[in-house]
Amino acid sequence: MIELQDLTKRYGDRTAVDHVTVTVPSGRVTALLGPNGAGKSTIMRLVLGLDRPTSGTALVGGRRYTELRNPLRLVGAHLDARAFHPRRSGRAGLLALARYNGFSPARVREVIDEVGIGAVAGKPAGTYSLGMAQRLGIAGAMLGDPGTVLLDEPVNGLDADGVRWVRALLRRWAGEGRTVLLSSHLIGEVELIADRVVVIGRGRLLADATPAAFTAGQEAVVDVAAADEHSFTLLTEALGAHAERTGADRLRVRGLDAATVGRRAQHAGAVLRELRTDAPGLEEAYVRLVEDETEYVAVTR
Ligand SMILES: Nc1ncnc2c1ncn2[C@@H]1O[C@H](COP(=O)(O)OP(=O)(O)OP(=O)(O)O)[C@@H](O)[C@H]1O
């Protein structure tokens, strides 16, 4: 479990993390989600003792990271895909990390197999594709078989297979009771991977919920397509400010239900090709949330 209590970090007059209180439970995959510069990496660095909080605390298993005696056995982290020495082979980098932290060369072989970089392990890490570099970083995080894992943007640069692989790996870790915290600025990834979503905007906690609870309070939208250009014009006029154009003949409607949209179209003489209610996805909920970062939204489980 990771506990952030009133965590604040300022750099000069810039507040990177602003009074964040949140618990990241074990046995779950939790995503820190937020736009670039929201404060996700800073939170991870504070948890890992790489930076000191201005105020508040970040605890892993009830202790500050800097108080842990054998931290890599308890907490694994992968913050930067290019953290390994570019001219050293991936294997050599992992062996050095293992030696320094008291892990066996056999464990290095195991993690290399597990992340599937056997074919490139002898090559300089600097020659790896971003996907391979991500796998190498994840291998480093796994070395100590830790109960808590932090991964900063772990699927950045991975192809669809790679994303599936990370998802399966994180699910397995959570299933084994580990605490898994990843960060992402891509809502689509998070929707696929995480059990819990912690949304951060300008350093502040905006939401902490399951993906389902996060979207539950959101109003559905209606997608409507006109049969022809003339109908599209009539329809656009009939729906006014409720409608937003999303395609050549297509509108997205907020604040009216499908029956009302259908009636308005009929009155206006517009012929429809399609009319459907869309349950709001995580993306819709997320966009609304970060659009107005000044509003504090607490979503409970
Ligand atoms: N060492 C530092 N010195 C000064 N400002 C910093 C430092 N580290 C981060 N910041 C600032 O703190 C804010 C949060 O940055 P952070 O990197 O944590 O965001 P992020 O959510 O991880 O974004 P990204 O997705 O771009 O990595 C930003 O405004 C950033 O410029």
Q: Quick one: CA dihedral 179, 206, 39, 131, positive or negative? A: positive
What's at 180, amino acid-wise? V
Name the closest-CA residue to atom 25, ligand 1. Answer: 36
Number of other residues whose CB lies within 10 A of the CB of residue 279: 10
> CATH no. for residue 273?
3.30.70
| 92-103 residue pLDDT tens | 999 999 999 999
- 106 and 244, same domain (yes or no): no
Residue in 232, 227, 230 with CA at minimum distance from that of residue 243 = 232
Residue in 50, 47, 53 with CA at minimum distance from that of residue 17 = 53
Probe ligand 1: pick from 14, 32, 150, 182, max atoms within 8 Å of CB? 14
Residues 149/75, Cβ–Cβ less than 8 Å: yes
The answer as to whether 291 is a domain residue is no
Name the closest-CA residue to atom 24, ligand 1. Answer: 36
Number of other residues whose CB lies within 10 A of the CB of residue 296: 10
- Residue 176 phi/psi, 5-degree rounding, is -85, 5
Name the closest-CA residue to atom 10, ligand 1. Answer: 16
Probe ligand 1: pick from 42, 185, 186, max atoms within 8 Å of CB? 42
Pocket lining: 206 vs ligand 1, CB cutoff 6 Å: no
| Rounded Cα distance, 85 and 65, in Å | 25
Distance, CA 39 to ligand 1 centroid (Å)? 5
Residues 113/82, Cβ–Cβ less than 8 Å: no
Residue in 117, 162, 158, 123 with CA at minimum distance from that of residue 108 = 117
- 31 and 140, same domain (yes or no): yes
Pocket lining: 42 vs ligand 1, CB cutoff 6 Å: yes
| Mean pLDDT value across the chain | 89
- 143 and 226, same domain (yes or no): no
Name the closest-CA residue to atom 1, ligand 1. Answer: 11
The answer as to whether 210 is a domain residue is yes
Pocket lining: 14 vs ligand 1, CB cutoff 6 Å: yes
Which of 193, 215, 237 marks a domain boundary? 215
pLDDT band for position 211 (cuts 50, 70, 90): confident
- 41 and 152, same domain (yes or no): yes
- Domain span at residue 233? 221-279
pLDDT band for position 32 (cuts 50, 70, 90): very high
Instruction: Determine the 3-state secondary structure of 290 from DSSP.
Output: helix
> CATH no. for residue 180?
3.40.50.300
- 130 and 184, same domain (yes or no): yes
The answer as to whether 102 is a domain residue is yes
> What ipTM describes this predicted complex?
0.93
Which of 215, 233, 266 marks a domain boundary? 215
Probe ligand 1: pick from 4, 7, 10, 11, max atoms within 8 Å of CB? 11
Name the closest-CA residue to atom 14, ligand 1. Answer: 39
| 86-142 residue pLDDT tens | 999 999 999 999 999 999 999 999 999 999 999 999 999 999 988 899 999 999 999
Overall domain count for the chain: 2
CA distances to 69, 75, 144, 180, 271 from 147, in Å: 14, 6, 9, 8, 59
The answer as to whether 296 is a domain residue is no
Pocket lining: 9 vs ligand 1, CB cutoff 6 Å: no
- 226 and 199, same domain (yes or no): no
- 211 and 263, same domain (yes or no): no
Distance, CA 14 to ligand 1 centroid (Å)? 10
Pocket lining: 36 vs ligand 1, CB cutoff 6 Å: yes
CA distances to 13, 20, 64, 226, 278 from 284, in Å: 32, 24, 36, 23, 11
Q: Ligand 1 atom closest to Cα of 41?
A: 22
The answer as to whether 183 is a domain residue is yes
Residues 151/182, Cβ–Cβ less than 8 Å: yes
Which of 215, 240, 260 marks a domain boundary? 215
- 25 and 50, same domain (yes or no): yes
Number of other residues whose CB lies within 10 A of the CB of residue 280: 19
Residues 194/27, Cβ–Cβ less than 8 Å: no
The answer as to whether 292 is a domain residue is no
Residue 299 confidence (pLDDT) above 70 = no
The answer as to whether 284 is a domain residue is no
Q: Ligand 1 atom closest to Cα of 43?
A: 18
| Rounded Cα distance, 20 and 56, in Å | 9
Pick from 151-155, 188-192, 234-238: least confident: 188-192
